[in-house]
Amino acid sequence: MKKIKHKKSLGQHFLHDEGVLEDMIDVSDISEDEVIIEIGPGGGVLTEKLVQTGARIIAIEIDELLVDGLEERFEYNDNCTIINADIRRINLPELLEKYAIDKYKVVANLPYYITSSILRLFLELITQPTDMIVMVQKEVAERICARVGDMSILAVSVQFYGLPEYLFTVKAESFEPIPKVDSAVIKISTIIRKFEKVDEKKFFKIVKSGFCAKRKKLVNNLSNSLKLDKLIIEKKLASINLKSTVRAQELSVNKWKELYKIL
Ligand code: SAM
């Protein structure tokens, strides 16, 4: 194989730990009749394992130089399609239609600089993946899987659509070049639009308003950004059993939904 020159700007930290690759495949629980979308196949180490499951693999890589190597590596694997594109610019609904995909999983070692946009991109699709098994920075994994008390916009925006679970930590030394921080594999399952009657744009406007100043009380944040009277907000909070001193990080997704309904 040709020597790869890593592009830091594209988050190119390549996994070389065979055990981690196998664990990722195990937790992804893939059967032959499934479709898997991989983002950022890089040198193809994870792609190779995915291809071996017999599932249909669609791997999307931005770096043209890597794509050449990937096309060569998987030339004789009929179940593998390599697409040279930026995941942020590709028309995913069109891609799903083109390959007649109505059910799929996302399995990937994500480029960390765009982790949250990639998660949002897939979670907000009309045809959402059934599960996402992704490697992200450890600290981001912990934030995504946070519970009430430690919630953030990121946690709400993932937990609104699915159930994230922290599976295992991956040491920084498992990658080449070695990144500054450890990583972790998470699984987001039960992905659906849980609250069909919620206008997602308005819902997340309220969530963002609630988190606008980190340590401030929810009532102050909502009143400042939504230009609403503090007393009115306090009354509304009380009507859904929330104290006037509550902070945004203490609300579960269900509570945000209750708040959305009354605001
Ligand atoms: N899957 C490989 C592995 O596990 O060793 C590489 C993972 S590396 C963390 C992330 C990969 O995502 C790189 O190959 C990088 O070129 C690719 N990438 C970065 N930005 C991308 C984008 N916007 N769209 C598609 N691929 C991207």
Quick: pLDDT tens for 249-259.
Answer: 999 999 999 99
Nearest alpha carbon, ligand 1 atom 5: 14
Query: Residue 232 contacts by C-beta under 8 Å, 6 or more apart in sequence?
Result: none
State the Cα–Cα distance between residues 122 and 244, nearest whole angstrom.
35
Residue with tokens 């594999």: 185
Average of per-residue pLDDT across 52-72: 97
Q: Is 214 exposed, middle or buried (0-12, 13-18, 19+ CB in 10 A)?
A: exposed
pLDDT at 6: 85
Residue 116: phi and psi, rounded to 5, are: -70, -35
Is the per-residue pLDDT at 12 higher than 80? Answer: yes
Entry pTM: 0.95
Cα dihedral 224→229→235→239 (10° resolution): -60
Closest-lying ligand 1 atom to the alpha carbon of residue 10: 19
Is the per-residue pLDDT at 83 higher than 60? Answer: yes
Domain ranges of the chain: 8-189, 200-262
Mean pLDDT of the chain: 95
Distance between start and end Cα atoms, the chain: 58
Give yes or no for residue 62 CB within 6 A of ligand 1: yes
Is the per-residue pLDDT at 195 higher than 80? Answer: no
pLDDT at 229: 94
CATH code, residues 200-262: 1.10.8.100
pLDDT band at 3 (very low <50, low <70, confident <90, very high): low
Give yes or no for residue 118 CB within 6 A of ligand 1: no
Is the per-residue pLDDT at 62 higher than 60? Answer: yes
Which of 36, 63, 120, 135 most suits a substitution to test ligand 1, by most atoms within 8 Å of the C-beta? 63
Nearest alpha carbon, ligand 1 atom 14: 42
Domain 8-189: CATH class, spelled out: alpha beta
Average of per-residue pLDDT across 36-63: 98
Is the per-residue pLDDT at 210 higher than 70? Answer: yes
pLDDT in tens, 92-151: 999 999 999 999 999 999 999 999 999 999 999 999 999 999 999 999 999 999 999 999
CA 4 – ligand 1 centroid, Å: 13
Closest-lying ligand 1 atom to the alpha carbon of residue 87: 24
pLDDT band at 2 (very low <50, low <70, confident <90, very high): low
CA 2 – ligand 1 centroid, Å: 17
Is the per-residue pLDDT at 72 higher than 70? Answer: yes
Percent above pLDDT 70 for the chain:
98
